[in-house]
Structures are given as C-alpha cells and as structure tokens.
Amino acid sequence: MTYCVGLKIDRGLVFMSDTRTNAGMDSISSFRKMHVWERPGERVIVLMAAGNLATTQNVVSLLNGRDKVMEEHKPAVLETPSMYQTARLVGDTLKKVIHMSAPGGERADSFFNASFILGGQIRGSVPRLFMIYPEGNFIESTEDTPFFQIGETKYGKPIIVRTYDRAMSFSEAVKLLMVSFDSTLKSNLSVGLPLDLLFYERDSFKVRLEKRIEYEDPYYRAISDSWSDALRNAFKSLPDFPEE
C-alpha cells in the first residue's frame, strides 16, 4: 500500500508521502513516491504516486523523456504551459502505460492500476492541486476539498477533516500531516517510514523545503510520542456517559 497527502493552504502547497512498497507481506522495499521538477523562478511541479510500482515508475520515466535517445532526454513536465496541461500530460501518460501493460487498456485493469496527486505552480497562474485517476481523468482541489489523499486514506482522514484550516502555517500543516501519517503507520503495516516531506510557498517558484524523515527524526518522534497522550487527554475532557 501507500499513503500520500497533498494539502493546499493559503501560503502554498504541502506534500507528504511514505516510501513502502510491497508484493505480499514478505517482500517489502523502499521506493521514493514523491517526484519533483523545478525550474527556479518559473515552475515547481510535484507528483506523488500510489499503485502498481511498474506502472508509476514507467509514467515518471516517460514524463522525464527516458523513452527518447539520451541526448533528447528532457522532462516534458518542464515544457507544459499550465498545471492543467501538466495534469492532462500525466493522465494521458498513465493511460498509455496501463494500455501497454494490460490487454484491457483503458479499462484501467485493477492489477496495473495507479493514481497520482499532482501539485505545483507555473508562472502566470496560481498554485494548483490535482488528483489523477487510473482512467487518466482528474479532479482539481477546491475550497470545499482542499486536500487529496491516495493509498491507505481512511485511518489518517478524520484528523485532517477536523483540524485543517486554510490559514494555517507551514509548521502547523506539517504537524497535521505528521499526525495523520502517524495514525496510518500505527494501523497499516504496508505504509512505512521514511517519509518524504516537501513544501512550496506560493509565488516563490522554488522548493522551500524538501526533507526525508527517518524513524529517529526528533520531530517525528516528539509527535508520535505526544499524540497518544494528547488524544487521551482530549478523550478524558469529554463527559462520561450518564448511566440512567
């Protein structure tokens, strides 16, 4: 499995992804699921992947122009005129890859399935955040739904729904994602450390922070240790059931 979240706040975009891939319980490994393209001053594009690793790696290779001869290698995602066109490019590439793998092609055969969260900003437009489905179509975040999750989304969703605030700072947004990931890591073995974190500040056109969070990361440990206590205290503060 996988867990990735892309979050849109007033100040920009925040992304977090885990790194575990597995083929059965007895075959796990670490693969980066967050891919970043940056042309400082002009664009930052972040893509996070969930699903079949052969499919998602192949999509990223094609987006990087790896199907061309060496001297023509050049990431197509650095040439798109808008985030909308970038989302279409990713969706079309995904459809093509699934079509190559599965005889059923556009039916997005579940075995070769993948989905993506795409976010970023290209000069001339605002930051935008998309979710791209295995069928190649996509939706964009709105004020009503300012975040997208892919993979194992359920354990970590309630905390995001209840504490997200578009005016929050990067530090608060990272805290929110840490709590959401901690709940998921504690519940599903197929989501695993280390985590990749990135945040992008609106209109900066460069990555503000990109960081890999390992098990011994002091901030992650502080959150993981103190969230259980904070939750227990919150629980204690509620009224007990009045027995008739």
CB of 77 or CB of 173, closer to a copy of itself: 173
Per DSSP bridges, beta strands 3-9 and 147-151 are antiparallel
Task: Detail the DSSP E strand segments found in the chain.
Answer: 3-9, 12-17, 20-22, 28-30, 34-39, 43-51, 114-122, 128-132, 138-140, 147-151, 195-201, 207-213
**How many angstroms from the chain centroid is the CA of residue 232?**
29
**Crossing angle for the helix pair 83-101 and 53-63, to the nearest 10 degrees:** 130
The dihedral built from the CA positions of residue 126, 129, 135 and 137, taken in this order, carries a sign that is negative
CB of 145 or CB of 228, closer to a copy of itself: 228
Among 68, 79, 209, 212, binds a copy of itself (CB under 8 A): 209
Is residue 108 a contact residue for a copy of itself (CB under 8 A)? no
Is residue 187 a contact residue for a copy of itself (CB under 8 A)? yes
Cα(171)–Cα(152) distance, rounded to whole angstroms? 24
CB of 71 or CB of 244, closer to a copy of itself: 244
Is residue 144 a contact residue for a copy of itself (CB under 8 A)? no
Among 143, 144, 216, 243, binds a copy of itself (CB under 8 A): 243
Among 16, 44, 150, 179, binds a copy of itself (CB under 8 A): 179
CB of 112 or CB of 155, closer to a copy of itself: 155
Please, which residues have CB within 8 angstroms of residue 221's CB and are 6 or more apart in sequence? none
Count Cα atoms within 13 angstroms, Cβ side, for 2: 28
Among 103, 162, 167, 216, binds a copy of itself (CB under 8 A): 162
Please, which residues have CB within 8 angstroms of residue 209's CB and are 6 or more apart in sequence? 170, 197, 198, 199
Is residue 110 a contact residue for a copy of itself (CB under 8 A)? no
Cα(58)–Cα(131) distance, rounded to whole angstroms? 18
Is residue 237 a contact residue for a copy of itself (CB under 8 A)? yes
Is-contact 34 17, C-beta < 8 A?
yes
CB of 34 or CB of 178, closer to a copy of itself: 178
CB of 75 or CB of 146, closer to a copy of itself: 146
Among 75, 186, 193, 210, binds a copy of itself (CB under 8 A): 186
Is residue 131 a contact residue for a copy of itself (CB under 8 A)? no
Count Cα atoms within 13 angstroms, Cβ side, for 48: 26
Among 73, 107, 154, 166, binds a copy of itself (CB under 8 A): 154
CB of 61 or CB of 169, closer to a copy of itself: 169
Q: How many residues bind a copy of itself (CB under 8 A)?
A: 41
For a copy of itself, the binding residues (CB under 8 A) are 154-155, 157-159, 161-163, 169-172, 174-176, 178-179, 183, 186-187, 209, 219, 222-223, 226-228, 230-235, 237-244
